[in-house]
Structure 1
């Protein structure tokens, strides 16, 4: 009972705080830097009626020998996941000559359903109310419709039919589904999965199952992404028990944590969360109707693949990553482990792989080197090395513009 009252008190504080903040969507649209804004450089249209916001980061010195790169974020986030840190991965990829594309998955950022429903939902995004049809989509639909739409968008922009794909968490899991079921699997030239596994070494994951089901109940009545927005200003006691699943507070800058709550956090789709239940219970990632065992079909995947694992990652741990890698049919498959036992400064957690203050020095360079060695043309003789630009301060909340 006491825990229940604390949760209700916490939610009440968040709701009051949100009431005095600018409209949820307006706050992000008017951030001082594109790194905190939704993706609006263009929109990729899916065959099932979604428009996905895309951001295109162009290199100052394009390398004609390199294919474009698509970065795909995980569940309950948007594409600012990749850009809220110092010397972020998209910046470093562009510095090495890559055309970089980020996009907001369905249900996040400015991505929306086409038509009247989308217009209504745009208004609802200024409130705590759920959007129409929110959470009815699943991972299978993301693989079947969203990935081809993004590939077509990139081809229109660059003329390139094939891309490199970098996915974090669900952003990599959904690509396994695409590679196993799509006739266009050959359009993925290389795949980097960061914290992306579809086989669990240890199951059932009872605590994560309980958390998953509790989150589904909460998201059935309120927008958790917008409810959590005030947490950019204060984190109540006990929140660290939830945050530890995502990141290690000692290695992630406070500005990044503020950015996560203020600009990156979104509502996780309820159907997508439900699809994770059998994975957490039985150790294999399945289709939403449970007719396809994606883990059992990994032997069909022949794309060159790099899996990146953090020694402190509790969501996609090293043993699970090793099992996923071993099941792949790819002849070119590699694993990079990041932790103190591997010679690094710290043991990396789930989002630490992208957010840690040390990731720009320890993780991004070898990942980009792996990609460089697999590009179709000769790389530039003197590729630019990682940048060291200061982190942008978080902007004060803007007053919504009419």
Structure 2
């Protein structure tokens, strides 16, 4: 026999998660999609049962409740419908129909898998603007509280998306007429607009488009790269070209490169990925509303910027870096491409982890920051 109270509780909590929009994390469209998926899965479990008609009646009522904005007023109704749904499954359990023999196990599995989907959607529900508006200010406030700078200003160094965030911050603050309280900024391999270059970031588009169409919350980039690593570093080296995206030949210690690939990349919020793909469209990166173009407000920057580009960077080529820095006032920016025609060359991560970075990159950063201290 089933533990009815446990099942009622599980159902009620699941449907109330939907009706409450997961405390505001889920958009209306997401909650509709997620509830539709759950209903479809449950309906398949009963498609050969004479109880399907009763389930459809309850599904319609639950769907209606999920449209209600006053969630507190529908709690009792959700609980009641959950109990009625339990009754349907209990009645089906007494059926001798072979397809329903293991209905209990499949039903619990369906509910648990659905709950995991909701948890993942909540956990990874952020975009670029969340980083910019919440995380960066929190980090800077903490550093100020610990270092207590006399002029209340900090130095900031950002690589790749870290630099994009710094550009975004300077742009936003310049537009709003606010002081970013940064004495100087260094960016490495960063740009707000990749349209004028042959950036391999365009490879992300095949990941972003399905994520948008299917309304999935995450893109497991870290797992994908970890799975691909053996094919980049072992015979027959079918994916060895991926290494060039990270480091130029002989520029990074092999063990460091391995650790970087296996540990540095992680699961990405689909919302973050979708917003970053605007860097590949005309006008460059924009905010989540799609109306604020960060590049347009770079001329308002009053903070000195040192921008590095790697000569063999396939992810953020020098052309992409220049497409951003050319909008910054000339007296506020220093643009530097590192790497020599005959070598050594710098790929995307060589600017921070290459064997020559300590000799060629770091001293220039220190000198620049010292001059603006």
TM-score (normalised: structure 2): 0.59
1:140 to 100, 124, 129: 129
The DSSP-based 3-state class of the residue aligned with 1:258 is: helix
Matched, 1:286 2:286: yes
Q: What's the counterpart of residue 140 of structure 2?
A: 151
Aligned residue number for residue 202 of structure 2: 209
Cα gap change, 1:232/1:318 in structure 2, threshold over 3 Å: closer, same or farther? closer
The answer on whether the counterparts of 1:170 and 1:196 sit within 8 Å (CA) in structure 2 is yes
Separation (CA, whole Å) in 2 of partners of 1:241 and 1:208: 15
Which residue of 142, 150, 172 corresponds with 2:163?
172
Contact 2:221 2:267 in 1 (8 A): yes
- Show the counterpart of 2:222: 225
Higher helix share: 2
| Cross-structure match for 1:53 | none
After TM superposition, the runs of 4+ consecutive aligned structure 1 residues lying more than 4 A away are: 215-222, 226-234
Cα-to-partner distance string for 1:207-247 (whole Å, 9 max, x where unaligned): 64343332675885773424544667774533333332232
2: CA distance between counterparts of 1:257 and 1:163?
Answer: 31
| Separation (CA, whole Å) in 2 of partners of 1:346 and 1:130 | 46
**For residue 371 of structure 1, what is the aligned residue in structure 2?**
369
Aligned equivalent of 2:188: 194
Q: Is the CA contact (8 Å cut-off) linking 1:188 and 1:303 kept in structure 2?
A: yes
Where in structure 2 are there 5+ consecutive unaligned residues? 1-23, 26-115
Q: Is the 8 A contact 2:193 2:280 kept in 1?
A: no
Whole-angstrom CA distance in 2 between matches of 1:352 and 1:201:
23
CA contact (8 A) 2:171 2:295 kept: no
CA displacement 1:104-156 (0-9 Å, x = unmatched): xxxxxxxxxxxxxxxxxxxxxxx9x9844344311111111111101110122
**Root mean square deviation of aligned Cα:** 3.3
In the alignment, what sits opposite 2:265? 265
Q: Paired residue for 1:310?
A: 310
Aligned to 1:351: 349
| Offset from partner CA, 1:148-190 (integer Å, 9 cap, x none) | 1011101221112321000011101111221222465431111
Residue 307 of structure 1 aligns to a residue whose secondary structure is strand
SS in 2 for 1:312: coil
Residues 189, 222 of structure 1: alpha-carbon distance in 2 compared, 3 angstrom cutoff: closer
Kindly report which structure 2 residues correspond to 1:3-402, keeping only aligned pairs within 5 A, or say none: 131-160=120-149, 161-182=152-173, 185-200=179-194, 202=196, 208-214=201-207, 217=210, 223-226=220-223, 228-229=225-226, 235=232, 237-282=237-282, 284-329=284-329, 331-341=331-341, 345-375=343-373
Whole-angstrom CA distance in 2 between matches of 1:228 and 1:130: 24
Which of 1 and 2 has higher RCO (CA within 8 Å, sep 6+)? Answer: 1
What is the aligned length? 249
- The structural deviation recorded for 1:366 is 1.4
Distance change >3 Å, CA 209–CA 345, structure 1 → 2:
closer
Q: For 1:355 and 1:130, how far apart are their aligned partners in 2?
A: 35
**Offset at residue 303 of structure 1 (A):** 0.6
* Higher Cα radius of gyration: 2
CA distance in 1, matches of 2:143, 2:201: 36
Q: Quick check: 251-260 or 327-336, which moved more? A: 327-336
Q: Secondary structure at the match of 2:335?
A: strand
Question: Helix, strand or coil: the match of 2:158?
Answer: strand
Contact 2:156–2:186 (8 Å) recurs in 1 = yes
Structure 1 residue ranges without an equivalent (≥5): 1-47, 50-126, 376-402
What is the Cα deviation at residue 276 of structure 1?
2.2
Instruction: State the alpha-carbon separation in 1 of the partners of residues 267 and 307 from structure 2.
Output: 26
CA contact (8 A) 1:310 1:339 kept: yes
- SS of residue in 1 equivalent to 2:246: coil
Task: List per-residue Cα deviations over 1:238-276 (Å, max 9, x = no partner).
Answer: 333333223224311111112113332212221121112
Is residue 220–residue 268 contact of structure 2 (8 Å, CA) maintained in 1? Answer: no
Structure 1 pair 231–316 and aligned structure 2 pair: CA distance change class (3 A): closer
- Kindly tell me: are residues 244 and 269 of structure 1, through their superposed partners in 2, closer, same or farther at Cα, counting changes over 3 Å? farther
